[in-house]
Amino acid sequence: MKFMTSAEVRQAFLDYFVEQNHKHVMSSSLVPGNDPTLLFANSGMVQFKDVFLGIDKRDYKRATTAQKCMRVSGKHNDLENVGPSPRHHTFFEMLGNFSFGDYFKESAIEFAWQLLTEVYGLPKDRLVFTVYQNDDEAYNIWVKKIGVDPKRVARMGPKTNFWQMAETGPCGPTSEIHWDKTPELGEDSIIPMLQAEDDRFLEIWNLVFMQYNRTQADPTHTGQYDHPLPAPGVDTGMGLERIVSIIQGKTANYDTDLFMPIIKKTQEITGHTDAQRDANYVPYRVIADHIRAAVFLIADGVLPGAKGRDAVCRLVIRRAARFGTKIGLHEPFLGKVADAVIDTMGHYYTELKDRADVIKKTITREEERFRRTMDIGLTELDAMLAELPTGGTLDGEKAFYLKATLGLPIQVTKDIAEERGYHVDMSGFATAEQEHTTISGGGLAMGEMDMAEEYNAVLNQLKADKLLPPDGVEYLTYGDTTLSAKVVALTQNGHPITELGVGDKVEVVLNRTPFYVEAGGQVSDTGTIRAENWEIEVEDTRRPVGGLIIHIGEVVQGAPKVGDDVLAVVDAQRRADITRNHTGTHLLHAALRNHLGIHVQQRGSLVAPERLRFDFAHDARMTPEQLKAVETEVNQIILANYPVKSEIKSLQQAKAEGAMALFGEKYGETVRTVIIENGARYSYELCGGVHVASTADIGLFIIVSEGSVSAGVRRVEALTGGAAIAYIQEKLDTLAHVAGQLQTTPENIVHRVTALQDEISQNRKLIEKLRREIARQTFHAKIDALETIGGVSVMILQLEDTPVETIREMSDWFKGKAKSGIFVAGSSFEDKPLLMVTVTDDLTKTYQAGNIIKQIAPIIGGGGGGRPNMAQAGGKDVSKIPEALQKAREVISQMAK
């Protein structure tokens, strides 16, 4: 077995399968495009899911990939094992080869055997195999065709060697290839130890044979509902980290060249010796694993945040930072460690180098944010744990409070609690989180997923009846907005219906349609479907499964029937408004990158008829100058009348030419690109939406707001065309109205407002002067006629419209004149009551201002306090001021006793 670097292992795999006529397909994003059932891509098959289901078509039948994967939630949650385990990871690479109705078991097994033994040079006597218990075909290929000793091939049950996508649908047996870590235990014990799932073996490669279609749930695996697929497929997966550890002779994945550069970078920062590093292997491993995950997530557009995928990105960064503190790293350091990830992986995953600055900046910013909140969160957690008995369990609601309010991820809380011998009520935490999600409107994206099976049945029946071609409904949204078509199905919630009347809701399936289906932020078209004697108003258009488009609407006339010839009519004015806004988002995106930097990446959008909304990665509020510059640039491109062109080309070519992809969208091998250029290219994006023919068709572009969506994500809302004109007209009308009110012209408003502000300022100064003069006169009228209470001189004043500053000045006058005594004043100012008490220093042992104010403040509906010689209070009820002042007399009298 020859030594190979991890890069050589990956490339050798891909090169081998390319030699076997496989198409090398680049890894898809970690964010599965248009698939709400998955948080992240967790296997190589994810990007080919629709191909295996027959929904998507490719121009190849064999493929090979090195796929970026994440497993941090659901049944594939490996997070707790990361660090202590030598082989568990959050982010990993899956090497795979796939057959879409081409070769099957024999070739798949031969390919695997040849690659492992001839290309990688693994010793044949270190490889062992499993097959499904009833799969004689795979067993015979290993034993008779390949020549493997039967002692090395174990028949296994469905738990380990049968794969199914769901309770029904594609399924089939699997064959696993394992590495024998201790061959000295002999061949006779191989099968029993495989069946016992003994740690003697390390699974290297799983070959999945998609052979059947299961029509009913079959929990006991009788096979009676499994029917052969017309075109069986192959899906294989081999973890790069594991095969590299074998080839490099390492017992732990973390000791390979995939992780050691990252670990050594962390060691360089800590200054640890190798012995110190090895003694703290768990923190080093966690940091290495989590920083890989964070780097790849951010490169794919996932930014740290509070929900969904963003929460995972936040989790791995914060957990890595927390483990950094265990090895003495109390300042941000992960941005530096990210360099090692980019250096190690960036040669194949070039997006890491392209976005290196953004990746490191995002990681450092999140780490800084966490360190600001961590002390508070840990202090709260310490207090909660201190209240528990030894070995007690932290309440789930409290754990959720730490996450939701103080930003302490649940896994960090769990780590710390368990390190100290406590437990966390994870079930209670999940309940609290679910309640919060329901209240906040989250978690609703899966609402319609249960209907997919019904719509698939409709689609398959229409194809079987030749009412739709193999590719499904003909999608003609880029042409005329009016199109003749035929009704091929009428459904409600995916169930066919035969009778409809006026007022009924219905889903109409046509053999072809001009209606746009919501995608890429652009909303669906609306309009009408008309036959000779009936009409349906279309309110929405959706694609519940690939190949099927349903027009959702209400019958407004007649009785629609399947087979009727119709005219499908899109609301052309609404469509025109949408196209203006869609092209406007492309111009906005380009202008933002020009003025804020190339780190700006689209995070979401809404393209509606009345407005456009654009979310993008950026970590600061845009200044008024930046907003004006962006708006001006977009309008300049509009006025320049650049042509807007679309082209169909390969995804690989488009990306190589610099086309920008939309975050979270799924792209096939062939893509539609939208180019805005006039000699020089201004905007180039992958886009399936509808656009104007030239930028001048947009008419006008106005930014109406800019704000924050979440940490690191900003949102701009803008108007185009008629909506922008209406917005300007409204502002001009407002301007004219204000000018009229100010008795000036619109052109002179600024000068007039400035003059009024100066006038108001002078008037305020005059009013303040008059107030002070009135106060002075009131004071002098009273100073010579002070009340005496308990032998003490007391001035009690009820004032009108007197601010606190003036009352405080009056109290100073009192102390200067009276030398010894108590000053009490009550005033209403701006419809709010105010009380103040001042006691000269010689009397504070007997009469304390704070004690007096505490007893009279409740009368005006307030509270207050202060020093022994001065106190004040505010309240709610102005009418109670006289009562409060009378109460002051009583309190002073009682104190005198």
CA separation for the pair 155, 157 (Å, rounded): 7
Q: What sign for the dihedral angle of Cα 263, 264, 265, 268? A: positive
Where does 49-90 show beta strands of DSSP type E?
Answer: 62-70
pLDDT of 881? 94
CA separation for the pair 840, 822 (Å, rounded): 7
Q: What sign for the dihedral angle of Cα 728, 730, 732, 735? A: negative
Residue 667 has pLDDT above 90, yes or no: no
**What is the 3 state secondary structure string of 384-398?**
HHHCCCCCCEECHHH
- The pair of structure tokens assigned to 311 is 């929460």
Residue 74 has pLDDT above 60, yes or no: no
pLDDT of 72? 80
Residue 311 has pLDDT above 60, yes or no: yes
Query: pLDDT tens digits for 207-218?
Result: 999 988 887 888
CA separation for the pair 224, 157 (Å, rounded): 16
Query: pLDDT tens digits for 778-825?
Result: 888 888 888 999 899 999 999 988 899 999 999 999 998 888 999 999
Residue 37 has pLDDT above 70, yes or no: no
Query: pLDDT tens digits for 505-560?
Result: 999 999 999 999 998 889 999 999 999 999 999 999 999 888 899 999 999 999 99
Q: Identify the weakest region by mean pLDDT among 21-35, 59-73, 192-206, 657-671.
A: 657-671
Query: Considering only CA atoms, which of 168, 138, 165 is closest in space to residue 154?
Result: 138
Question: Which position has the higher pLDDT, 397 or 438?
Answer: 397
pLDDT of 165? 66
Question: Tokens 């939406």 — which residue?
Answer: 689
Q: Are 695 and 676 in contact (CB under 8 A)?
A: yes
Q: How confident is the model at residue 860 (pLDDT cuts 50, 70, 90)?
A: very high
- C-alpha torsion angle, residues 259, 261, 263, 265 (rounded to 10): -150
Distances 256 to 2, 264, 546, 806 between C-alpha atoms, Å: 15, 12, 42, 76
CA separation for the pair 616, 710 (Å, rounded): 10
Q: What is the mean pLDDT of the segment spanning 411-437?
A: 84
Q: What sign for the dihedral angle of Cα 281, 284, 287, 290? A: negative
Q: How confident is the model at residue 866 (pLDDT cuts 50, 70, 90)?
A: confident
Residue 713 has pLDDT above 80, yes or no: yes
**What is the 3 state secondary structure string of 400-438?**
HHHHHCCCCCHHHHHHHHHHCCCEECHHHHHHHHHHHHH
**Average pLDDT in the chain:** 90
Residue 442 has pLDDT above 70, yes or no: no
Residue 443 has pLDDT above 60, yes or no: no
Question: Which position has the higher pLDDT, 207 or 45?
Answer: 207
Please give the DSSP secondary-structure letter assigned to residue 519.
B
pLDDT of 471? 85
Q: How confident is the model at residue 32 (pLDDT cuts 50, 70, 90)?
A: confident
pLDDT of 166? 66
Query: How many C-alpha atoms does 577 have within 13 Å on its Cβ side?
Result: 20
Helix axes 410-419, 396-404, angle to 10 degrees: 130
pLDDT of 114? 97
DSSP character string of 621-663: PPPHHHHHHHHHHHHHHHHHT-BEEEEEEEHHHHHHTTPBPPT
Q: What is the mean pLDDT of the segment spanning 742-766?
A: 93
Residue 122 has pLDDT above 90, yes or no: yes
Q: How confident is the model at residue 441 (pLDDT cuts 50, 70, 90)?
A: very low
Q: What is the mean pLDDT of the segment spanning 660-687?
A: 85
Question: Tokens 């907005």 — which residue?
Answer: 481
Q: What is the mean pLDDT of the segment spanning 712-716?
A: 91
Q: What is the pTM of this model?
A: 0.66
Q: Identify the weakest region by mean pLDDT among 254-258, 497-501, 797-801, 830-834.
A: 497-501
Burial zone of 588 (CB within 10 Å; 0-12 exposed, 13-18 middle, 19+ buried): buried
Q: What is the mean pLDDT of the segment spanning 342-370?
A: 92
Question: Which position has the higher pLDDT, 691 or 447?
Answer: 691
Q: How confident is the model at residue 73 (pLDDT cuts 50, 70, 90)?
A: low
Each as own residue / partner, the long-range contacts of residues 668-674 (CB below 8 Å, 24 or more positions apart, any chain) are: 668/56, 668/58, 669/25, 669/58, 669/59, 669/60, 670/59, 672/646, 672/647, 672/648, 673/646, 673/647, 673/648, 673/649, 674/586, 674/644, 674/645, 674/646
Q: What are phi and psi of 413, to 5 degrees?
A: -60, -45
Residue 241 has pLDDT above 60, yes or no: yes
pLDDT of 369? 85
Query: pLDDT tens digits for 616-663?
Result: 989 899 999 999 999 999 999 999 999 999 999 988 899 889 898 876
